Amino acid sequence: MLVMDAITEILKREGIGTMFCFPTTPIIEAAVAGGMRPVICRQERVGVHMADGCARVTNGKPAGVFAMQYGPGAENAFAGIASAYSDSTPILLLPLGHPRETAQMFPLFNSTRTYASVTKHVEPVLLPEHTVPAMRRAFNALKNGRPGPVMVEVPADVMTAEFAGNEVDYTAIRASRSAGDPRDIDDAAKMLLAAKSPIVIAGQGVLYAEASDELVAFADLLGIPVMTTTDGKSAFPEDHALALGSGGVVYTGHGRQFLLDCDVIFAIGTSLTRHNISTPIIPDGKRIIHATNDTRDLHKANDTELGILGDAKLVLQQLIEAVKDRSGGNPAATGARPRIASLKAEWLARWESKLRSTERPINPYFVMSEFMRVIPSADAIVTHDSGSPRDQLLPFYQAVKPRGYMGWGKSHQLGTGLGLAIGAKIGMPDKMCVNFMGDAAFGMTGLDFETAARCGIPITTIVLNNSTMAIETHAMAYSHEKLRTRDLGGNYANLAQDLGGWSERVTDPGEVGGAILRARRVNESGRAALLEFITSAETAFSHRRGAA
C-alpha cells in the first residue's frame, strides 16, 4: 500500500465518493483504483467551486474534495479556496507538494505557507507515518465548529512512498456540538418576549446545523418574522407568512421595512460580518441577540447586548422550550403576518411591470419570473453569479426547501455559479441544478460547461446576454462613452453546442417559459443544457444597498 492508497481509503471511510481534480497528481489514479469517481475540470478555480457546491448541498456530509498538482495547480486554485473561506464551506484541498528536497527552495510556490490565510487548518505530510493523524486532524477541523476549507499537502515523493502495513487504522470523525449556556438562553427568551417588533436574521449556520425545522417552529411560536443573509437564503421557507426574504446588497420591500422598524434582532447562524453584499446592515439603535458557534464572531461588528455560543439547532431547541415555559406555549399574536402580506403585495405591485414585461430585448426579471412559474422551487437548486444576476435574483426567487438556493457574495469571482451548480448536481442528482450568469461571468469560466457535458452532469446554465457590463454603467460612464469599454459579445449558445451540450438562443419573450421546460427535459435525459437569453441592460434593483 502506498500513501496515496491510504488517503483514498480514508476518504472512502468519510463517505466521499467523488473527487474533483485536475492533473497532474497520482491521487487521481489511486482514487479510481479505490472505486471513487474523478471529475476532471478545465480550470482549478472552477474545480474548487464544484467541490464547494457539492459540500453546500450535502451540508458538508461529506466534505467536498479537490486535488491538484503543485506549483501552477495550487496557484490557480487559490481564488476558489479564498471564496470558500469567506463563505465557510467545508472543502478538503489535497495539493501535491514539491518533492521534499526542493520544497523550500526560493522562489517555488509554497502551498502550506500561502494557503494559511484562507484555510481553517493547513498541514503538510512530511513522512508516510504522518498520513493518518494528519487526515484525522483535517476531518476534525472540517466537521467541528464553524466550517471552512482545510488543506493537507502531500509532497510528491511522500504521495508515492510505501505506507507501513496493509491496513489503515482510521475511524471516521464524529461531529461534536454544544448547546448554549442556560442563563443566556433564559435572558434571550425574556428579551424576545418583551420586544415590540423583533425579527430574526438567520445565516447559513442554520443550514449546516440542519435547523430549518426548528427555526420555523421558533418563528411560529413567537410570531416573529425571519430574514436570511445571502449565504443563508433557503434556511427559512420563503413562501412562509413570516418570511422577509434575504438581505444584503438587495432586499425585499417588506424585509427592508421590518429591518428598519424592528427593536430587537435575534441573529443566529451568522457571523454578522459587516459586508454590504452578503449580510443585512443593521441600523443603529437595535438591541441584538447573537447566537453563533464561533467565539470570534461575538461582539465583532455590532454592539451586541447578548451573545450565545452554541450550535444553531440546539440553541433553537433550547429557546423554544424557554419561550414555552414563559408564555404557556401559546403562539404569539403579533400582527406580523398580515403586515408582511400587505407590504409584500405593495412591493411586488411596484415590480410587476418588469416581472411581467414582454419587451425586447427580454427583461432579465421576466426570465427569472418565468423560471419560477414553470419550475417548482422544491424541485430545483438555484444559484446566481456576481453582479446583476445576483442582485436581480435574490429578492424575487422564493426558495422553499433548505439548500434549494446557494447564495454567496463576500469574496467571489465572476463565474463562481457554474462550478457550484456542477458540484450541486453531483451532491443532489435528483434536483434540477441551475446557475444564472451574465455574459461577463461566462467569459471567466464558461469553458467548464464542457466539464458538465463531458462528465454527464446534467445542469442548466442560463446566460443573460445583454452584451455589456450593465452593473458598471455608472462606474464606467466616461470610458464607455469614449471607447465602449463596457461592451462584450459572443454567441454562447453556439459555443455550448460546440462544447458538447444542448443549447438554445432565445430572443422572443414568449419562448422563455417553453425553453426552460425544454432544458429541464434535456437534463432529465442526462445532458447538460445552456439557455442564452438576449436581454436588456437592466440596472434597477430592489432596495439595493438600502436605497428606496
C-alpha 232/C-alpha 286 separation (Å) is 21
Query: How many domains would you assign to the chain?
Result: 3
Cell numbers for 68: 491538484
Instruction: Please give the residue range of the domain that contains residue 18.
Output: 3-159
CATH of the domain at 195: 3.40.50.1220
Q: Is residue 344 a part of any domain in this protein?
A: no
pTM: 0.96
Residues 229 and 115 in one domain: no
* Residue after which a domain boundary falls, among 159, 192, 227: 159
Closest CA to 383 of 416, 410, 412, 354: 416
Residue 335 CB burial class (10 angstroms; 0-12, 13-18, ≥19):
exposed
**Burial (CB count within 10 angstroms: exposed 0-12, middle 13-18, buried 19+), residue 370:** buried
Grid cell locating 241: 407568512
**β partners of residue 381:** 433
* 91-97 sheet: strands from edge to edge: 37-40, 18-21, 64-68, 91-97, 150-155, 121-124
| The residue type at 394 | L
User: Do residues 302 and 383 share a domain?
Assistant: no
CA–CA separation, 257 vs 200, rounded Å? 14
Domain contains 234: yes
**Amino acid present at 336:** A
Q: How far apart are CA 548 and CA 546, in angstroms?
A: 6
Same domain, 233 and 381: no
Would you say residue 7 lies in a domain?
yes
Go through the chain and tell me how many residues it has. Answer: 548
Which residue(s) pair with 307 in the sheet? Answer: 290
- By the 8 A CB rule, do 307 and 181 touch? no
Assess whether 14 and 85 both reside in one domain.
yes
Q: How far apart are CA 243 and CA 245, in angstroms?
A: 6
Q: How far is CA 5 from CA 103, 116, 296, in A?
A: 23, 26, 37
Q: How far is 20 from 476, CA to CA, in rounded Å?
A: 38
Cα separation, 150 vs 142, whole angstroms: 7
In a domain, 197, yes or no: yes
Residues 74 and 107 both lie in one domain: yes
Estimate the crossing angle of helix 312-327 against helix 212-222, to 10 degrees. 20
Say if CB 230 and CB 394 are below 8 A apart.
yes
Residues 493 and 371 in one domain: yes
**Same domain flag for 212 and 278:** yes
Say if 478 falls within a structural domain. Answer: yes
Domain-ending residue, one of 128, 159, 190:
159
- Tracing cell 484541498 back to the chain, one arrives at 93
Counting other chains too, the contacts that 408-411 makes at CB distance below 8 Å and 24 or more residues apart are 408/83, 408/87, 408/230, 408/231, 408/278, 408/383, 409/230, 409/231, 409/248, 409/249, 409/275, 409/277, 409/278, 410/86, 410/87, 410/231, 410/273, 410/275, 410/277, 410/278, 411/82, 411/83, 411/85, 411/86
Residue 454: its H or E element? helix 449-454
**Under 8 Å between Cβ of 11 and 20:** no
In a domain, 535, yes or no: yes
pLDDT at 547: 46
Measured CA angle at 110 (ends 446, 123), to 5 deg: 95
The answer on 369 and 450 residing in a single domain is: yes
Specify whether 289 is located in the same domain as 405: no
pLDDT at 545: 60
Residue with cell 481534480: 21
Q: Which of 278, 304, 339 is the last residue of a domain?
A: 339
What CATH number should be reported for the domain holding residue 115?
3.40.50.970
**Residue 83 backbone class (left: φ over 0; alpha: ψ -120 to 50; beta: rest):** alpha
Same domain, 121 and 204: no
Output the nine-digit C-alpha cell for 497: 453546442
List of residues 6+ apart from 134 with CB closer than 8 A = 123, 125, 152
User: What is the per-residue pLDDT for 548?
Assistant: 41
Q: What phi and psi values does residue 282 have, to the nearest 5 degrees?
A: -80, 125
**C-alpha cell, 25:** 497528481
Residues 190 and 149 in one domain: no
Task: Give, for all 548 residues of the chain, the pLDDT tens digit.
Answer: 999 999 999 999 999 999 999 999 999 999 999 999 999 999 999 999 999 999 999 999 999 999 999 999 999 999 999 999 999 999 999 999 999 999 888 899 999 999 999 999 999 999 999 999 999 999 999 999 999 999 999 999 999 999 988 899 999 999 999 999 999 999 999 999 999 999 999 999 999 999 999 999 999 999 999 999 999 999 999 999 999 999 999 999 999 999 999 999 999 999 999 988 899 999 999 999 999 999 999 999 999 999 999 999 999 999 999 999 998 877 778 899 999 999 999 999 999 999 999 999 999 999 999 999 999 999 999 999 998 999 999 999 999 999 999 999 887 899 999 999 999 999 999 999 999 999 999 999 999 999 999 999 999 999 999 988 888 888 899 998 999 989 888 999 999 999 999 999 999 999 999 999 999 999 999 999 999 999 999 999 998 764 44
Is residue 463 within 8 Å of residue 533, measured between CB atoms? yes
What backbone torsions phi and psi does residue 154 show, to the nearest 5 degrees? -120, 115
The answer to the question of residue 164 being in a domain is no
Which residue type does 119 have?
Answer: T
Q: Residues 187, 62: one domain?
A: no
Q: Is residue 333 part of a domain?
A: yes
Tell me the CA distances in angstroms from 204 to 154, 211, 233, one per residue in order. 31, 10, 7
